[in-house]
Amino acid sequence: MVLIGFGRQGHGFTRSEHPNDFPARRSRCADPTTFVQEGIARPWRKDLKLGGVEIDNGIEIVLKADEPYKGKIVFDIPRYKEYMGFKKDWPRMNTMPEWFTVEKMSKYKVKRPDGSQKIISGKELSEGMNVEIKANKEIRLFVTRD
Query: What pLDDT, in 10s, does the model give residues 79-98?
Result: 767 666 677 766 665 456 66
Which helix (DSSP H) or strand (DSSP E) does residue 54 occupy?
Answer: strand 48-55
What is the tens place of the pLDDT at every residue in 38-57?
Answer: 678 899 999 999 988 888 88
Say what the pTM is.
Answer: 0.68
CB contact at 8 A, 49 and 63: yes
Q: Please, where in the chain does CATH 2.60.40.1180 lie?
A: 36-145
Query: For 36-145, which CATH superfamily applies?
Result: Golgi alpha-mannosidase II (2.60.40.1180)
**The pLDDT of residue 118 is above 90:** yes
| β-bridge partners, 101 | 76
